[in-house]
Amino acid sequence: MKKAFFTLIFGVITLAAFAQEQAIYSQYQVFPILVNPGYTGFQDQHEFIGNARSTWTGFPGKPTDFTVMYSGPLGDKLALGGGLFSEKVGDVTTLKFQLNYAFRFRIQKARIGLGLSTEFLNRRADAALLTNSLVDKNDDVLEGLTEGQKIFDASIGGYMLYDDRLFISASLPNTIRTRLDDVPVATNTNPNGSIFQHYIFQLGYIANIPSQNFQLIPSLTIRQIRDTPFQIDVNLQGRFMEDKLIAGLTYRPSSKGSAVFMIGTKLSKLQLFYSYDVSFSNFQQYNAGSHEISVAYTLPRKALKKTTDSSDLYQ
Protein backbone atom coordinates (compact mmCIF):
# COMPACT_ATOMS: atom_id res chain seq x y z
CA MET A 1 0.00 0.00 0.00
CA LYS A 2 2.79 2.40 0.96
CA LYS A 3 4.71 1.59 -2.21
CA ALA A 4 1.59 2.14 -4.30
CA PHE A 5 1.07 5.54 -2.68
CA PHE A 6 4.64 6.65 -3.42
CA THR A 7 4.27 5.34 -6.97
CA LEU A 8 1.18 7.55 -7.33
CA ILE A 9 3.13 10.54 -5.99
CA PHE A 10 5.99 9.94 -8.42
CA GLY A 11 3.58 9.51 -11.33
CA VAL A 12 1.77 12.78 -10.60
CA ILE A 13 5.06 14.67 -10.21
CA THR A 14 6.46 13.24 -13.46
CA LEU A 15 3.28 14.08 -15.37
CA ALA A 16 3.29 17.64 -14.05
CA ALA A 17 6.98 18.07 -14.81
CA PHE A 18 6.55 17.25 -18.48
CA ALA A 19 3.20 19.00 -18.93
CA GLN A 20 3.75 22.36 -17.22
CA GLU A 21 5.11 24.69 -19.87
CA GLN A 22 2.36 27.32 -19.73
CA ALA A 23 1.71 28.30 -16.13
CA ILE A 24 -1.88 27.94 -14.94
CA TYR A 25 -2.67 31.27 -13.26
CA SER A 26 -5.88 32.04 -11.37
CA GLN A 27 -5.28 35.80 -11.28
CA TYR A 28 -5.19 36.37 -15.04
CA GLN A 29 -8.50 38.25 -14.57
CA VAL A 30 -6.77 41.16 -12.85
CA PHE A 31 -3.47 40.79 -14.74
CA PRO A 32 -4.25 39.70 -18.34
CA ILE A 33 -0.58 40.19 -19.27
CA LEU A 34 0.15 36.89 -17.48
CA VAL A 35 -1.53 34.96 -20.33
CA ASN A 36 -1.91 37.41 -23.23
CA PRO A 37 0.96 39.37 -24.86
CA GLY A 38 -1.64 41.54 -26.58
CA TYR A 39 -2.25 43.26 -23.23
CA THR A 40 1.34 44.53 -23.08
CA GLY A 41 1.22 48.26 -22.27
CA PHE A 42 -2.55 48.30 -22.83
CA GLN A 43 -3.24 50.58 -19.85
CA ASP A 44 -0.61 53.05 -21.10
CA GLN A 45 1.39 52.84 -17.89
CA HIS A 46 4.46 51.00 -16.64
CA GLU A 47 3.51 47.96 -14.58
CA PHE A 48 5.71 45.63 -12.50
CA ILE A 49 4.17 42.34 -11.32
CA GLY A 50 5.42 39.70 -8.92
CA ASN A 51 3.41 36.46 -8.73
CA ALA A 52 3.90 33.35 -6.57
CA ARG A 53 1.78 30.21 -6.76
CA SER A 54 1.80 27.01 -4.71
CA THR A 55 -0.28 24.25 -6.29
CA TRP A 56 -1.53 21.26 -4.25
CA THR A 57 -0.04 22.66 -1.04
CA GLY A 58 1.08 19.91 1.32
CA PHE A 59 1.38 17.26 -1.41
CA PRO A 60 4.93 15.85 -1.83
CA GLY A 61 6.73 17.41 -4.79
CA LYS A 62 3.99 19.98 -5.37
CA PRO A 63 4.47 22.56 -8.19
CA THR A 64 5.76 25.92 -6.98
CA ASP A 65 5.86 28.85 -9.42
CA PHE A 66 7.39 32.33 -9.32
CA THR A 67 6.84 34.97 -12.01
CA VAL A 68 8.22 38.50 -12.37
CA MET A 69 6.97 40.65 -15.26
CA TYR A 70 7.16 44.18 -16.62
CA SER A 71 5.13 45.84 -19.36
CA GLY A 72 4.83 49.42 -20.48
CA PRO A 73 4.38 51.78 -23.43
CA LEU A 74 7.14 52.69 -25.86
CA GLY A 75 5.78 55.76 -27.59
CA ASP A 76 2.13 56.19 -28.55
CA LYS A 77 1.49 52.91 -30.33
CA LEU A 78 4.21 50.45 -29.34
CA ALA A 79 4.75 48.63 -26.05
CA LEU A 80 7.40 46.30 -24.67
CA GLY A 81 7.52 43.84 -21.81
CA GLY A 82 9.51 41.02 -20.35
CA GLY A 83 9.43 38.41 -17.64
CA LEU A 84 11.11 35.58 -15.78
CA PHE A 85 9.29 32.38 -14.82
CA SER A 86 10.55 29.66 -12.46
CA GLU A 87 8.84 26.41 -11.57
CA LYS A 88 9.87 23.55 -9.29
CA VAL A 89 7.98 20.23 -9.55
CA GLY A 90 9.54 17.40 -7.59
CA ASP A 91 13.09 17.03 -8.91
CA VAL A 92 12.47 19.02 -12.10
CA THR A 93 13.16 22.76 -12.41
CA THR A 94 11.96 24.95 -15.29
CA LEU A 95 13.28 28.45 -16.04
CA LYS A 96 11.74 30.65 -18.72
CA PHE A 97 12.74 34.06 -20.08
CA GLN A 98 10.11 35.98 -22.03
CA LEU A 99 9.99 39.15 -24.17
CA ASN A 100 6.71 40.81 -25.23
CA TYR A 101 6.08 43.20 -28.11
CA ALA A 102 2.71 44.88 -28.78
CA PHE A 103 1.08 47.37 -31.16
CA ARG A 104 -1.84 49.46 -29.82
CA PHE A 105 -4.44 51.41 -31.74
CA ARG A 106 -8.05 52.60 -31.67
CA ILE A 107 -10.93 51.99 -34.08
CA GLN A 108 -13.77 54.30 -33.05
CA LYS A 109 -14.88 53.05 -29.59
CA ALA A 110 -12.61 50.00 -29.61
CA ARG A 111 -9.13 50.03 -28.08
CA ILE A 112 -7.08 47.15 -29.46
CA GLY A 113 -3.72 45.61 -28.62
CA LEU A 114 -1.95 43.00 -30.74
CA GLY A 115 1.09 41.31 -29.26
CA LEU A 116 3.84 38.75 -29.75
CA SER A 117 5.74 36.91 -27.04
CA THR A 118 9.07 35.15 -27.61
CA GLU A 119 10.22 32.68 -24.97
CA PHE A 120 13.33 30.68 -24.13
CA LEU A 121 12.73 27.72 -21.81
CA ASN A 122 15.28 25.59 -19.98
CA ARG A 123 14.09 22.49 -18.09
CA ARG A 124 16.45 20.36 -16.03
CA ALA A 125 16.04 17.39 -13.68
CA ASP A 126 18.13 16.84 -10.59
CA ALA A 127 20.70 14.11 -11.29
CA ALA A 128 19.71 12.49 -7.98
CA LEU A 129 16.40 11.56 -9.62
CA LEU A 130 18.17 8.71 -11.42
CA THR A 131 18.99 7.08 -8.08
CA ASN A 132 15.29 6.83 -7.18
CA SER A 133 14.18 3.21 -6.92
CA LEU A 134 11.01 4.03 -8.87
CA VAL A 135 12.97 5.29 -11.88
CA ASP A 136 14.05 3.11 -14.76
CA LYS A 137 17.82 3.58 -15.01
CA ASN A 138 17.60 3.09 -18.79
CA ASP A 139 14.94 5.77 -19.34
CA ASP A 140 16.45 7.96 -22.08
CA VAL A 141 13.97 10.78 -21.47
CA LEU A 142 14.80 11.24 -17.79
CA GLU A 143 18.49 10.64 -18.42
CA GLY A 144 18.57 13.33 -21.10
CA LEU A 145 16.53 15.70 -18.95
CA THR A 146 19.28 15.78 -16.33
CA GLU A 147 21.48 17.37 -19.03
CA GLY A 148 18.86 20.08 -19.67
CA GLN A 149 16.11 20.54 -22.23
CA LYS A 150 16.10 23.84 -24.17
CA ILE A 151 13.13 25.16 -26.15
CA PHE A 152 12.41 28.35 -28.10
CA ASP A 153 8.73 29.22 -28.23
CA ALA A 154 6.47 32.06 -29.32
CA SER A 155 2.89 33.09 -28.57
CA ILE A 156 0.55 35.66 -30.11
CA GLY A 157 -2.42 37.45 -28.62
CA GLY A 158 -5.00 40.19 -29.03
CA TYR A 159 -6.99 42.22 -26.54
CA MET A 160 -9.94 44.54 -27.27
CA LEU A 161 -11.91 46.83 -24.97
CA TYR A 162 -15.05 48.26 -26.59
CA ASP A 163 -16.67 51.37 -25.14
CA ASP A 164 -14.78 50.73 -21.86
CA ARG A 165 -17.27 47.93 -21.13
CA LEU A 166 -17.02 44.86 -23.34
CA PHE A 167 -13.64 43.10 -23.43
CA ILE A 168 -12.42 40.21 -25.57
CA SER A 169 -9.08 38.48 -25.01
CA ALA A 170 -7.58 35.77 -27.23
CA SER A 171 -4.10 34.27 -27.13
CA LEU A 172 -2.45 31.35 -28.89
CA PRO A 173 0.36 29.91 -26.75
CA ASN A 174 3.09 27.71 -28.25
CA THR A 175 2.39 28.82 -31.84
CA ILE A 176 6.05 28.53 -32.87
CA ARG A 177 8.12 25.87 -31.11
CA THR A 178 11.71 24.88 -31.80
CA ARG A 179 13.92 22.48 -29.90
CA LEU A 180 17.45 23.75 -29.23
CA ASP A 181 18.84 20.42 -27.99
CA ASP A 182 18.77 16.70 -28.74
CA VAL A 183 17.18 15.56 -25.49
CA PRO A 184 14.48 12.94 -26.19
CA VAL A 185 11.01 13.93 -24.98
CA ALA A 186 7.93 11.81 -24.45
CA THR A 187 4.99 13.72 -25.94
CA ASN A 188 1.67 13.04 -27.58
CA THR A 189 1.57 16.35 -29.42
CA ASN A 190 0.87 16.19 -33.15
CA PRO A 191 3.75 18.03 -34.87
CA ASN A 192 1.52 18.74 -37.87
CA GLY A 193 -1.31 20.17 -35.80
CA SER A 194 -2.86 23.60 -36.34
CA ILE A 195 -1.52 26.66 -34.50
CA PHE A 196 -5.05 26.96 -33.08
CA GLN A 197 -4.80 23.70 -31.10
CA HIS A 198 -3.71 25.68 -27.99
CA TYR A 199 -5.69 28.77 -27.03
CA ILE A 200 -6.99 30.96 -24.21
CA PHE A 201 -10.18 32.92 -24.96
CA GLN A 202 -12.04 35.26 -22.63
CA LEU A 203 -15.21 37.31 -23.06
CA GLY A 204 -16.44 39.68 -20.36
CA TYR A 205 -18.41 42.81 -19.55
CA ILE A 206 -17.75 45.68 -17.12
CA ALA A 207 -21.01 46.85 -15.54
CA ASN A 208 -20.60 50.20 -13.81
CA ILE A 209 -23.06 51.02 -11.01
CA PRO A 210 -22.20 54.63 -10.09
CA SER A 211 -24.98 55.00 -7.51
CA GLN A 212 -23.43 52.22 -5.42
CA ASN A 213 -19.82 53.09 -6.31
CA PHE A 214 -18.86 49.63 -7.58
CA GLN A 215 -18.31 47.55 -10.72
CA LEU A 216 -19.53 44.07 -11.49
CA ILE A 217 -17.47 42.10 -14.06
CA PRO A 218 -18.81 38.74 -15.26
CA SER A 219 -16.66 36.81 -17.76
CA LEU A 220 -16.20 33.43 -19.37
CA THR A 221 -12.81 31.88 -20.15
CA ILE A 222 -12.14 28.86 -22.36
CA ARG A 223 -8.63 27.46 -22.55
CA GLN A 224 -6.83 24.51 -24.05
CA ILE A 225 -3.14 24.49 -23.11
CA ARG A 226 -0.46 22.03 -24.18
CA ASP A 227 -0.79 18.64 -22.46
CA THR A 228 -3.43 19.89 -19.99
CA PRO A 229 -7.18 19.14 -19.86
CA PHE A 230 -9.68 21.42 -21.58
CA GLN A 231 -10.91 24.00 -19.07
CA ILE A 232 -13.81 26.46 -18.73
CA ASP A 233 -13.82 29.25 -16.12
CA VAL A 234 -17.02 31.06 -15.15
CA ASN A 235 -15.85 34.25 -13.42
CA LEU A 236 -17.51 37.00 -11.42
CA GLN A 237 -15.52 39.93 -10.08
CA GLY A 238 -16.64 42.88 -7.96
CA ARG A 239 -14.77 46.15 -7.44
CA PHE A 240 -15.86 48.39 -4.58
CA MET A 241 -14.90 51.81 -3.17
CA GLU A 242 -12.74 52.80 -6.14
CA ASP A 243 -10.92 49.43 -6.15
CA LYS A 244 -10.01 49.57 -2.47
CA LEU A 245 -11.78 46.23 -2.20
CA ILE A 246 -11.73 43.70 -5.06
CA ALA A 247 -13.29 40.24 -4.76
CA GLY A 248 -13.66 37.44 -7.30
CA LEU A 249 -15.18 33.99 -7.64
CA THR A 250 -14.41 31.41 -10.34
CA TYR A 251 -16.17 28.10 -10.92
CA ARG A 252 -14.61 25.40 -13.12
CA PRO A 253 -17.13 22.66 -14.00
CA SER A 254 -14.56 20.35 -15.61
CA SER A 255 -12.65 17.58 -13.74
CA LYS A 256 -15.46 17.12 -11.19
CA GLY A 257 -15.43 20.84 -10.49
CA SER A 258 -13.27 23.34 -8.65
CA ALA A 259 -13.54 26.92 -7.42
CA VAL A 260 -11.26 29.91 -6.93
CA PHE A 261 -11.82 32.61 -4.30
CA MET A 262 -9.91 35.88 -4.78
CA ILE A 263 -9.57 39.06 -2.74
CA GLY A 264 -7.43 42.12 -3.33
CA THR A 265 -6.99 45.85 -3.03
CA LYS A 266 -5.55 48.81 -4.91
CA LEU A 267 -3.82 51.45 -2.83
CA SER A 268 -2.58 54.31 -4.99
CA LYS A 269 0.08 52.72 -7.24
CA LEU A 270 0.22 49.41 -5.36
CA GLN A 271 -2.01 46.36 -5.89
CA LEU A 272 -2.20 43.23 -3.70
CA PHE A 273 -4.13 40.03 -4.48
CA TYR A 274 -4.57 36.62 -2.89
CA SER A 275 -6.52 33.66 -4.27
CA TYR A 276 -7.28 30.15 -3.07
CA ASP A 277 -8.16 27.22 -5.36
CA VAL A 278 -10.09 24.23 -4.05
CA SER A 279 -11.05 21.11 -6.00
CA PHE A 280 -14.24 19.10 -5.53
CA SER A 281 -12.55 15.85 -6.62
CA ASN A 282 -11.21 13.12 -4.32
CA PHE A 283 -7.65 14.37 -4.84
CA GLN A 284 -8.44 17.37 -2.60
CA GLN A 285 -8.11 15.16 0.49
CA TYR A 286 -4.39 14.74 -0.23
CA ASN A 287 -3.58 18.48 -0.36
CA ALA A 288 -4.53 21.85 1.14
CA GLY A 289 -5.56 23.51 -2.10
CA SER A 290 -3.62 26.00 -4.20
CA HIS A 291 -2.53 29.48 -3.11
CA GLU A 292 -1.56 32.41 -5.33
CA ILE A 293 -0.29 35.87 -4.39
CA SER A 294 0.40 38.85 -6.66
CA VAL A 295 1.94 42.23 -5.97
CA ALA A 296 1.91 44.94 -8.64
CA TYR A 297 3.29 48.46 -8.83
CA THR A 298 2.37 50.93 -11.56
CA LEU A 299 3.96 54.14 -12.78
CA PRO A 300 2.31 56.62 -15.17
CA ARG A 301 4.06 57.23 -18.47
CA LYS A 302 5.70 60.56 -19.06
CA ALA A 303 3.50 63.29 -20.46
CA LEU A 304 3.28 63.44 -24.23
CA LYS A 305 5.46 66.15 -25.73
CA LYS A 306 3.18 66.75 -28.70
CA THR A 307 0.22 69.07 -28.36
CA THR A 308 -2.49 66.61 -29.41
CA ASP A 309 -5.09 65.55 -26.88
CA SER A 310 -4.32 62.39 -24.93
CA SER A 311 -7.56 60.86 -26.24
CA ASP A 312 -5.75 60.42 -29.57
CA LEU A 313 -3.34 57.94 -27.98
CA TYR A 314 -4.56 54.86 -29.86
CA GLN A 315 -5.55 56.62 -33.11
pLDDT for 229 = 81
Contact 301, 44 (CB under 8 A): yes
pLDDT-based confidence at residue 225 (cuts at 50, 70, 90): confident
The b-or-e profile of 20-43 (16+ CB within 10 A means b, else e) is: bbbbbbbbbbbbbbbbbbbbbbbb
Cα three-residue angle 43-47-50, rounded to 5 degrees:
135
* Residue-range domain boundaries for the chain: 2-312
Q: 84-98, 119-133, 285-299 — which is least confidently predicted?
A: 119-133
Q: Does residue 15 or residue 299 have the better pLDDT?
A: 299
Residue 187 has pLDDT above 60, yes or no: no
pLDDT for 313 = 40
pLDDT tens sequence across 268-296: 999 999 999 999 988 899 999 999 999 99
SS3 at position 132: coil
CATH dotted code for 2-312:
2.40.160.40
Q: Could you give the maximum distance between any two Cα atoms of the chain, in Å?
A: 75
Q: Does residue 283 or residue 134 have the better pLDDT?
A: 283
pLDDT for 5 = 45
pLDDT for 101 = 97
Residue 311 has pLDDT above 50, yes or no: no
pLDDT tens sequence across 230-245: 899 999 999 999 899 9
Residue 7 has pLDDT above 70, yes or no: no
pLDDT (mean) for 98-107 = 97
| CA distance linking residue 246 with residue 273, whole number of Å | 8
pLDDT for 197 = 81
Choose from 70-84, 120-134, 298-312 the range with maximum mean pLDDT: 70-84
**By percentage, how much of the chain surpasses pLDDT 70?**
78
Closest Cα partner for 232 from 219, 248, 214, 215? Answer: 219
pLDDT for 307 = 43
Question: Within the chain, where are the H helices?
Answer: 2-19, 140-145
pLDDT tens sequence across 39-74: 999 999 999 999 999 999 999 889 999 999 999 999
SS3 at position 246: strand
Contact 254, 229 (CB under 8 A): yes
| CA distance linking residue 208 with residue 165, whole number of Å | 8
pLDDT-based confidence at residue 99 (cuts at 50, 70, 90): very high
Closest Cα partner for 304 from 19, 33, 73, 131? Answer: 73
pLDDT-based confidence at residue 306 (cuts at 50, 70, 90): low
